[in-house]
Structure 1
Amino acid sequence: MKANHLIRGEQAERLACRHLQAEGLRLLERNYRTKQGEIDLVMQDGNSLVFVEVRYRKSDIFGSAAESITAAKRAKLIAAANHYLLRQADRPSRFDVVAISGDQSPGIEWIRNAFDAF
């Protein structure tokens, strides 16, 4: 049986994916894993690859979902994205964050170009 935090994380990723697809992005991969780290969603927006980090917080008492992304987490995402890009044709890419907060009617914040790595 999965722990509650893993179940909530999967639910948040599905919600984020549906939100981005409704905005016109196309899902390429979920949970792309490397030794360096994991990318929650790899999507396509026009000709661009979009590496999406999904963050969920039940409440903002200890900071928002977006604020929970540390420098170490960014470094892992960048390393995993570089690994992904090794097997792709040269094309533009960016990092987006989907921050979800609340349980009953969650708020969704889509932050495009959340950090500039390339």
Structure 2
Amino acid sequence: MSLRQQSGQAAEALARDHLERQGLRLLAQNWRSRLGELDLVMLAGDTVVFVEVRYRRHAAWGGALESVDARKRAKLATAAQQFLQKETRWARHPCRFDVVAISPGDGRSSPRLDWIQNAFDA
């Protein structure tokens, strides 16, 4: 496993832990279809929340939130549609797309986590 994959998995674990402490319940992690992948699918009350986790070591290439561009949003929306078609028990629930943006700490502090609820519409 590459360093990039390891840091991605660590970021997802950090995001999942944070969201679970906020009362969300995990439905799926790293859900894949041939049309895309969903990092986390969670339940907030009766709302299905598709969570994109973004980690950026260096802000020079743009922050984690900025990396969720129109193309990425379209891929997430397509993957979410597939999820709802396959997992029909969730299809009638309201849905939203959240982004958890994680930036590294400076060595003295822990990583910074920004949870943007309803970050974009599909």
Question: TM-score w.r.t. structure 2 length?
Answer: 0.91
Q: State the shift of 1:28 in Å.
A: 0.7
Distance 1:36 1:114 in 2: 21
- Equivalence for 1:111: 116
Structure 1 letter corresponding to 2:26: L
SS of the residue 1:80 aligns to? helix
Whether 2:3 is the aligned partner of 1:4: answer yes
1:34-91 deviations in Å (ceiling 9; x for gaps): 1110000000000000000000011212211010112111111000000111123411
Structure 1 letter corresponding to 2:119: A
- Equivalence for 2:69: 70
RMSD over aligned CA atoms reads 1.0
Counterparts of 1:1-118 in structure 2 under 5 Å? 2-86=1-85, 87=88, 88-103=90-105, 104=107, 105-117=110-122
Q: State the shift of 1:12 in Å.
A: 0.2
Identity of aligned residues (%): 53
| Unmatched tracts of structure 1, length 5 or more | none
| Unmatched tracts of structure 2, length 5 or more | none
Q: Write 1 or 2 for the structure with the bigger share of helix.
A: 2
Distance 1:91 1:16 in 2: 23
